[in-house]
Structure 1
Amino acid sequence: MRPRRRCPRPGHPSRLQGPVRILVCDDHAVVRPGLLALLHSGPDIEVVGEAGSGEEVLALARRTTPDVVVMDLQLGEGMDGVEATRRLRALTPAPHVLVLTTYDTDADVTRAIEAGATGYLLKAERAEDLFSVKTHLRRIYDRLGVDTRAGAVAVAKEQRLLP
């Protein structure tokens, strides 16, 4: 494991110094190379691995300690992206999870938020949008009319999108 150095900055005490370490999880072998190429082109990004299933992403996350996992929701047989997100967020240290998927229903969005996803991006979006996690979180909160993750979960439960 590499040591993590923290770079203090007003308002952002947990900001990491150095490149953002990213792990990609998508079950489509055709999609992953394009996503990896896009990420490799981004500034200050280090891709630490790729996985094709929920089980594989958990094992890789334990070995590589990524800062961010880019996660598809539908992963074929086995664990789905929501459950993988929940388990990733329980790790120490817990990576942020950016959902990148084709699914845009309220139920999908709120399940991902409840599981701990930091952001949500559709595969149909512009490639440049992938590099702005804050934009994704703001989009989710605006859609639900809230300002916090707890508020998002509460609204989702009110609307019976979550149990």
Structure 2
Amino acid sequence: MSSVRRGSFVLICGLLWLLLAACGQTQDVADLLPTEVDGTARTEFLSGEAGRHAVNKLHGKSIKVEDAAVATYGGGHPPAAQVWVSRASNAAEAREQLAVMVERMLRGPSPFTPPKAERRSGVDVYRTEGLGMVHLLWTRGELAWWVSVLPEREQAFMAEFLEQE
């Protein structure tokens, strides 16, 4: 094999290795929460260990998550939206975590209306209301989402987080 061919072979193998390595990597969940949604700025943000702690606090117990992030959009009480996203070790674990949340709301007592499943963008989304906001929960792959949003901002935030996912 000539040195030019050998060099090309090494270059192609190197590029293939980089491509395969990139395919196996998962996106940092913090990257899923933009600094602005539909003109509303992100005003608070937690990720890494602080994000995982916030998700555990939301659940009222420690749950197994690989990564988590929480973002608040807009000021005031309640804010325009608060978005929670966590990555479980696999899709089945994410679905189980969602099922536990839904079941806890159904059992009560809860400040939320009983969650109802809706099909949106090919995904089963559980919708509930409470505390002056609409709450939407779903999983896609190993990601579990909880979006709390003011009713008038629901479409914009769902377009950002469910339809753009």
RCO comparison, higher one (Cα < 8 Å, 6+)? 2
* TM-score (norm. length: structure 1): 0.29
Q: Which has the larger radius of gyration?
A: 2
The structure that is strand-richer by fraction is 2
For normalisation by structure 2, the TM-score amounts to: 0.29
